[in-house]
Amino acid sequence: MGQPIHRYLKKKIVDKFDFIDKWLPAHYTTSVNMILKEEAKDPAYIRRVKNRRMIDERVIDALYKVSLLNKIQVETED
């Protein structure tokens, strides 16, 4: 019975990573660490989470927020 929830969560994570791949700026590790504040991670770890699509919810959420901010900035410049 847990399968539909698992599929939903997996789809949600895949959608987040797709958005991140599309909108993440070239230099993002400093911004991610600013969002993470006290739980700052090594830039190599942040890049590893992004490139290998590892499951680290805090880092994924921070990457998503940076991507969202970049998308808003790009769209308002036009």
For the entire predicted model, the pTM comes to 0.87
In order along its 78 residues, the chain shows pLDDT tens digits of 446 767 888 888 999 999 999 999 999 999 999 999 999 999 999 999 999 999 899 999 999 999 999 999 999 986
Is 51 within 8 Å of 28 (Cβ atoms)? no
User: How many structural domains are present in the chain?
Assistant: 1
* Backbone conformation region of residue 37, classed left if phi is above 0, alpha if psi is from -120 to 50, else beta: left
Domain hosting residue 43, numbered range: 3-77
Q: What is the per-residue pLDDT for 3?
A: 61
The residue written with tokens 């895949």 in the block is: 14
